[in-house]
């Protein structure tokens, strides 16, 4: 009903004017949707142009530097949101098989977790239960080595450069245990080979057959081969196409096409912290197989290298951004300066390319874990005595130089060297003339206190 003092025509005019005013106010208060869409479209166009430019640069670099005796062939790919964003194969095809080298360990770990999911293996069970051999060194008074310790390289077993089969003619090598179980990360290929035998003992299938049936086939890795000779530490061969599928399985949290390969609970073990480390905002630590980067407790990156004669590669995943990259190559000799220049050159370019694929301020190219301040450095100062003979054996003194760095003095060599931090508890003495190779000093924490030090000669207690 119209107002008694306003005619119907006048009332309509008033309503139209009011609507026009409201529309004008809305336009002044916020931009229309099409303007926001236009801005988003421009940003996407700029991003796509940068990605395409970087793709061309990557391809040109690989083509210019791959070939010859140092790196005869190589292949690389990057993925984002389930799509292949970059792929390049030089002197090979994307279906060509390369040695996966140490990436085999990730398949072995998946096989063990798969068995644990089914209740066939217990991660907390001593490995002697499956292999019938005692691996603990009597003088260390160590806790039993469990399946979990082998998975996380915290068994205390060390790599034997000249291994000898045991007198009982076991089908596996029994490595030396140099550190108490659970105290220190110590990378051990032979420890992962033991996991391969545990898979066989628990499942009745050789590791290669178990991986083929329960990992390669469900993921759809049709090119890849896990022969019966596959060891826990190496032996699988993969194509670039298949490694793309493998990366996506990890980014999907252990699922393939919506179907879980292993349970989420078991998959999450990959990012568990395996030894106690100081609290920090930006942290680098060893998870299960992978080296992990986290910020404020949230995982941003997990990666693993692949090195052995005839193989050199790297895989890095960014789970928070659903992105990752991988490259593989076939250097006849991987431990040479010429190959490392190629390897780090390609790796840095793949990381830079990945920066374009992430959606926040995280920059994988410049990520640096937190380092200890002066107060934390002071907590490492003291005398560390050999664990197996603390009363009269060797010792290492750790001093804080007035310049703000730690110095290590070994009683048994007289050497006095500066050690620099690579994380909040790991330090390294860089060998003269080297930039990366050196001797690692791992400080051990229990309940927040520094209790020991692991070096190549053994474990020392504070």
pLDDT tens, residue by residue, 90-139: 999 999 999 999 999 999 999 999 999 999 999 999 999 999 989 999 88
149-171, pLDDT tens digit by residue? 999 999 999 987 766 655 556 78
- State mean pLDDT over 314-323: 97
In tens, the pLDDT along 342-394 reads 999 999 999 999 999 987 889 999 999 999 999 999 999 999 999 988 888 89
Contacts of 326 (CB under 8 A, 6+ apart): 76, 77, 240, 243, 244, 247, 313, 314, 315, 316
Angle at 208 between CA 105 and CA 196, to 5 degrees: 50
Sorted by sequence, the CB contacts under 8 Å of residue 357 that are 6+ apart come out as 51, 78, 80, 85, 318, 321, 323
Q: What is the pTM of this model?
A: 0.89
Q: Are strands 395-400 and 438-446 parallel, antiparallel or unpaired?
A: unpaired
Asked whether the beta carbons of 151 and 135 are under 8 A apart, the reply is no
CA distance 460 to 11: 93
- Mean pLDDT for the chain? 90
Residue 392, pLDDT score: 81
CATH number of 374-461: 2.40.128
Kindly give the residue spans of alpha helices, DSSP state H, lying in 6-126: 8-29, 33-65, 104-117
Per-residue pLDDT tens for 398-433?
999 999 999 999 999 999 999 999 999 999 999 887
Best CATH choice for the domain 98-355 from the list 3.40.50.970, 3.40.710.10, 3.40.50.720, 3.40.50.300: 3.40.710.10
Q: Residue 36: which pLDDT band, with cuts at 50, 70 and 90?
A: confident
24 pLDDT band (50/70/90 cuts)?
very low
The structural domains of the chain, with segments of one domain joined by +, span 98-355, 374-461
What's 138's DSSP letter? G
Question: Which pLDDT belongs to residue 139?
Answer: 85
Nearest Cα neighbor of 356 from 328, 333, 323 is 323
According to the model, what pLDDT value does residue 166 have?
56
Question: Quick check: 17 pLDDT over 60?
Answer: no
């Amino acid at each position: 009903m119209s107002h008694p003092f306003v005619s119907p025509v006048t009332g309509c005019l008033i309503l139209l004017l009011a609507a026009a005013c409201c529309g004008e106010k809305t336009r002044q208060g916020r931009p229309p949707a099409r303007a926001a869409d236009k801005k988003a479209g421009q940003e996407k166009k700029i991003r796509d142009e940068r990605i395409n430019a970087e793709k061309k640069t990557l391809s040109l670099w690989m083509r210019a530097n791959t070939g010859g005796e140092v790196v005869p062939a190589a292949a690389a790919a990057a993925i984002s949101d389930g799509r292949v964003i970059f792929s390049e194969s030089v002197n090979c095809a994307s279906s060509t098989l390369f040695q996966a080298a140490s990436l085999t360990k990730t398949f072995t770990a998946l096989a063990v977790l798969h068995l644990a999911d089914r209740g066939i293996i217990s991660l907390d069970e001593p490995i002697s239960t499956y292999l019938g051999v005692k691996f603990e060194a009597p003088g260390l008074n160590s806790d039993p080595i469990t399946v979990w310790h082998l998975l996380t390289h915290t068994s205390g077993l060390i790599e034997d450069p000249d291994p000898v089969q045991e007198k009982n003619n076991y089908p596996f090598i029994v490595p030396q245990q140099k550190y108490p179980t659970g105290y220190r990360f110590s990378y051990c290929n032979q420890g992962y080979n033991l996991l391969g035998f545990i898979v066989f003992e628990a499942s009745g299938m050789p590791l290669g057959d178990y991986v083929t049936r329960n990992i390669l086939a469900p993921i759809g890795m049709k090119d890849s081969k896990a022969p019966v000779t596959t060891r826990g530490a190496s032996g699988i061969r993969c194509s670039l196409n298949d490694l793309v599928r493998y990366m996506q399985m990890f980014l999907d949290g252990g699922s393939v096409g919506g179907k879980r390969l292993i349970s989420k609970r078991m998959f999450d073990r990959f990012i568990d912290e395996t030894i106690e480390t100081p609290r920090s905002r930006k942290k680098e630590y060893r998870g299960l197989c992978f080296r992990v980067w986290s910020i404020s407790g949230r995982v941003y990156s997990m990666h693993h290298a692949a090195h052995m004669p005839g193989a050199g590669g790297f895989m890095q995943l960014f789970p928070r951004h659903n992105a990752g990259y991988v490259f593989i190559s076939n250097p006849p000799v991987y431990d040479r300066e010429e190959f490392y220049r190629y390897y780090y050159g390609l790796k840095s370019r793949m990381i830079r390319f990945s920066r374009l694929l992430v959606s926040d301020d995280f920059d994988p190219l410049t990520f640096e874990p937190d380092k200890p301040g002066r107060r934390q450095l002071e907590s490492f100062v003291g005398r560390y005595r050999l664990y197996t003979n603390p009363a009269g054996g060797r010792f290492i003194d750790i001093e804080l130089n007035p310049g703000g760095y730690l110095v290590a003095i070994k009683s048994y060599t007289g050497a006095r060297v500066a050690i620099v931090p690579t994380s909040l508890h790991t330090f390294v003495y860089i060998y003269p003339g080297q930039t990366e190779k050196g001797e690692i000093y791992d400080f051990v924490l229990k309940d927040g206190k520094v209790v020991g030090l692991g070096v190549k000669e053994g474990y020392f207690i504070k």
